[in-house]
Amino acid sequence: MRETTIKVKEPLNDERIQMIESRLAQTEGIERALVDVDSGSIWISYNEMKMAPELIMKALNEHGMHAEEVQNA
């Protein structure tokens, strides 16, 4: 498993958090995602054989979010 943190520029309200969590939960290769409302970041644990940070950001961007990777562990 790999981990990454993705920052979104939009304010995170309950509706956006639900959209993010729903979208990521349906994405093959993502094991876990935790949204930090205060920092506007999403910590994600993923299977690097099935997923990459670029694909996660693309999925979020396709749903109207402006996402960028800030950390890769």
Chain-centre distance for alpha carbon 30: 9
- The pair of structure tokens assigned to 12 is 């995170």
Task: Return the pLDDT at 72.
Answer: 55
φ and ψ at 36, to 5 degrees? -105, 105
Map residue 25 onto helix, strand or coil. Answer: helix
Chain-centre distance for alpha carbon 25: 10
With residue 33 as reference, give the H or E element that holds it: strand 30-36
- Backbone region of residue 61 per phi and psi (left: phi > 0; alpha: psi in -120 to 50; beta: other values): alpha
pTM of the predicted model as reported, rounded to 2 decimal places:
0.82
Summarised one tens digit per residue, pLDDT across range 27-64 is 899 999 999 988 889 999 999 999 999 999 998 898 88
Q: Is the pLDDT of residue 73 over 80?
A: no
Summarised one tens digit per residue, pLDDT across range 9-31 is 988 888 888 888 888 888 899 99
- Domains present along the chain, CATH in parentheses: 2-72 (3.30.70.100)
